[in-house]
C-alpha cells in the first residue's frame, strides 16, 4: 500500500502481559490491523513506564520486570483508522489509546520475491 500526505496515527499503550483469549493483546492488535489492510503497525517494548495506576514497571526490578510497557503504533488514513477503532475498544480493557494527525513523507515496502 502506498500512503503519503495527511494521515492519522493511533498509539496504544498497554502491558506486555495483557491477554486476549490466551494471546498477547499486542499480537492480536497487530494481526487485526494487518487483516484490516491498514498501512502499517509496529510494536515497541518499553524498558520502563507507568500508567493510570502510577505503578512503575521497569527492567531494573525483578518483581515488576515481567509486565513491561508496550506501545503499538498504527498509521493509515483518517477514515480507515477510525473504522478500526471499535476493535481497540474491544481489545484494550486497561491502557491508553491516543490519536494524532501526522504527515507521511515516505511509505515503501520491499518487493516480493519473484517480481
pLDDT digits (tens, 9 = 90+) for 16-43: 999 999 999 999 999 999 999 999 999 9
**CA pair distance 15, 68, nearest whole angstrom:** 6
pLDDT in tens, 33-89: 999 999 999 999 988 888 888 777 777 756 555 688 999 999 999 999 999 999 999
- Strand, coil or helix: what is 97? strand
Q: Which residues contact 26 (CB under 8 A, 6 or more apart)?
A: 12, 14, 16, 18, 43, 70, 72
pLDDT of residue 26: 98
Residue 20 corresponds to which cell in the numbers above?
A: 486476549
Whose grid coordinates read 517480481?
A: 115
> Which of the 8 DSSP states describes residue 9?
E
Residue-range domains of the chain with CATH = 5-104 (3.30.70.120)
Global confidence as pTM: 0.85
Whose grid coordinates read 484490516?
A: 36
pLDDT of residue 52: 81
Amino acid at each position: 500500500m502506498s500512503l503519503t500526505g495527511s494521515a492519522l496515527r493511533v498509539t496504544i499503550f498497554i502491558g506486555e502481559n495483557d491477554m486476549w483469549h490466551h494471546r498477547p493483546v499486542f499480537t492480536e492488535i497487530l494481526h487485526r490491523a494487518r487483516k484490516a489492510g491498514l498501512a502499517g503497525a509496529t510494536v515497541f517494548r518499553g524498558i520502563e513506564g507507568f500508567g493510570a495506576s502510577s505503578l512503575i514497571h521497569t527492567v531494573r526490578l525483578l518483581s515488576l520486570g515481567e509486565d513491561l510497557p508496550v506501545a503499538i503504533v498504527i498509521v493509515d488514513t483518517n477514515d480507515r483508522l477510525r473504522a478500526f477503532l471499535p476493535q481497540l475498544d474491544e481489545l484494550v480493557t486497561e491502557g491508553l489509546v491516543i490519536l494524532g494527525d501526522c504527515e507521511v513523507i515516505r511509505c515503501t515496502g520491499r518487493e516480493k520475491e519473484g517480481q
